[in-house]
């Protein structure tokens, strides 16, 4: 990047199954108001706006950012709308970073949202492509075979996914914004109905309404701000083709290439020991073990063992998803930016009851498509 970029404000909504108290514009505005307040800025201070969300079919509005321009103070400002499937919230924040890094913008407002109660996510995520047999099984039906492949390769025992799900719920009890805040046990998960073998009902993320907004700014603005900023050390988004023979969806090459670029950019050579906390995209419990390997936190086949030893729990060596993550709140288009925003809050020292003590370096991650799109950043408490 040509010049330093920092997160100077973060605002998120309370997440829920149905935020019937607000329209889409009201939901987005709630996050934007909190982010501006957090940064000590006003609408007039914002130079450009970067929107992201997952498929427009989730709410049934084509390019909803167009009608939202007025609601977020965007009149006569530059506006961009990103869509990179499930990774979109994260790639949206990185697009805002590019705006500032280019030298043309000082303060950029970036917003990601989903109001899933306005539509039917299961339908919207079941693309019926011309000339391809329809799966109509949502994301769980798509990803279950790769979870089975992971288990077959690694020999992971059946309680690993349920351990991850129970840990996520435990973490979310400390996050006031989370959608699902009721604790569950490993037994609860293992006794819940099987949806897509081996993914059970409680291994699965909820369908949420929610939004997050952040303000990304130049060094000069960050140093003037009321609070300690989160400095963006490195961030990249990568994608890979769908129909490549031998493409590995258990540990996609795009994820490995992306995280290597991010680590190289941030000077990370030993991620397990150099990173203090990570927010990663885990819509189905087993993916936490899978991503631990793909992100280079451990060797291939070792991800489930890290979980089994509890080394990724809150208070342990490398807390993963102390917010509760996607398993406890999943407004799809916002979920990726929530991962990056939570990573920023951790290094700002403002993650509330789920703050990881002394966190200086944090990773935020999201993936999307058929495990094809990846967007990752590293943020730090120091420039």
Which residues form the interface with another protein (CB under 8 A)?
1-3, 23-24, 49, 55-57, 59-64, 66-67, 69-70, 74-85, 91, 95, 98-99, 101-104, 118, 124-125, 127-131, 236-244, 252-254, 257-258, 369-370, 372-373
How far apart are the C-alpha atoms of 49 and 12, rounded to whole Å?
A: 16
Nearer to another protein, 101 or 189 (CB): 101
Question: Which of 124, 351 has the CB closer to another protein?
Answer: 124
Minimum distance from residue 266 beta carbon to another protein (Å): 14
Instruction: Tell me whether residue 111 or residue 165 sits nearer to another protein (CB atom).
Output: 111
For residues 4 and 264, give the distance between their C-alpha atoms in angstroms, rounded to a whole number.
Answer: 16
Count of CB atoms situated within 10 Å of the CB of 84: 25
**Smallest separation, CB 99 to another protein (Å):** 6
Q: Please, which residue, 177 or 281, has the CB nearer to another protein? A: 281
CB of 252 to another protein, least distance (A): 8
350: its two tokens: 């403002």
Instruction: Report in angstroms how near the CB of residue 151 gets to another protein at its nearest.
Output: 25
Q: Which is nearer to another protein, 287 or 373 (CB)?
A: 373
Q: Which residue has the tokens 């949202």?
A: 113
The whole-angstrom separation of Cα 323 and Cα 371 is: 23
Name which of 27 and 168 has its Cβ closer to another protein: 27
The CB-of-270 to another protein minimum distance in angstroms stands at 24
| Cα–Cα nearest to 80, from 339, 102, 60 | 102
CA pair distance 69, 228, nearest whole angstrom? 29
Q: How far apart are alpha carbons 9 and 345 in whole angstroms?
A: 9
Nearest approach in angstroms of CB 37 to another protein is 22
Contact call for residues 137 and 125 (beta carbons, < 8 A): no
In angstroms, what CA-CA distances link 76 with 9, 47, 164, 190?
Answer: 22, 10, 46, 53
d(CA 209, CA 179): 9
In the complex, least distance from residue 192 CB atom to another protein, rounded to whole angstroms: 28
CA distance linking residue 264 with residue 234, whole number of Å: 8
Cβ nearer to another protein, comparing 180 with 378: 378
SS3 at position 122? helix
């Amino acid at each position: 990047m040509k010049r330093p970029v920092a997160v100077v404000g973060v605002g998120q909504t309370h997440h829920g199954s149905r935020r019937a108290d607000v329209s889409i514009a009201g939901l987005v505005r709630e996050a934007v108001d909190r982010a501006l307040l957090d940064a000590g800025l006003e609408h007039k201070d914002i130079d450009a706006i970067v929107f992201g969300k997952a498929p427009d079919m989730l709410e049934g509005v084509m390019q909803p950012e167009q009608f939202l321009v007025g609601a977020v103070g965007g009149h006569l400002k530059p506006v961009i709308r990103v869509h990179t499937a499930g990774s979109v919230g994260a790639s949206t924040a990185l697009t805002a970073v590019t705006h500032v890094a280019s030298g043309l913008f000082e303060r950029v407002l970036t917003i990601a949202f989903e109001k899933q109660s306005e539509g039917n996510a299961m339908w919207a995520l079941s693309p019926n492509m011309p000339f391809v047999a329809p799966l109509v099984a949502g994301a769980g039906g798509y990803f279950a075979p790769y979870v089975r492949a992971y288990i077959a390769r690694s020999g992971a025992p059946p309680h690993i996914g349920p351990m991850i799900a129970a840990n996520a719920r435990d973490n979310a009890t400390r996050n006031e914004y989370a959608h699902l805040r009721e604790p569950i046990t490993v037994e609860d998960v293992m006794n819940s109905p099987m949806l897509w073998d081996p993914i059970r009902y409680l291994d699965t993320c909820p369908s949420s309404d929610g939004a997050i907004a952040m303000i990304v700014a130049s060094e000069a603005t960050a140093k003037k701000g009321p609070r300690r900023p989160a400095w963006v050390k490195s961030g990249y988004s990568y994608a890979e083709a769908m129909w490549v023979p031998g493409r590995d969806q258990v540990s996609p090459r795009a994820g490995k290439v992306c995280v290597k670029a991010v680590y190289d950019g941030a000077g990370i050579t030993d991620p397990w020991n150099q990173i203090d906390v990570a927010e990663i995209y885990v819509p189905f419990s087993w993916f936490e073990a899978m991503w631990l390997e793909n992100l280079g936190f451990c060797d291939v086949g070792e991800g489930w063992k890290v979980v089994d030893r509890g080394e990724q729990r809150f208070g342990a060596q490398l807390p993963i998803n102390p917010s509760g993550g996607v398993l406890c709140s999943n407004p799809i288009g916002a979920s990726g930016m929530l991962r990056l925003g939570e990573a920023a809050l951790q290094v700002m020292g403002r993650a509330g009851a789920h703050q990881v003590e002394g966190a200086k370096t944090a990773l935020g991650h999201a993936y999307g498509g058929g495990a094809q799109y990846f967007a990752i950043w590293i943020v730090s408490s120091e420039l």
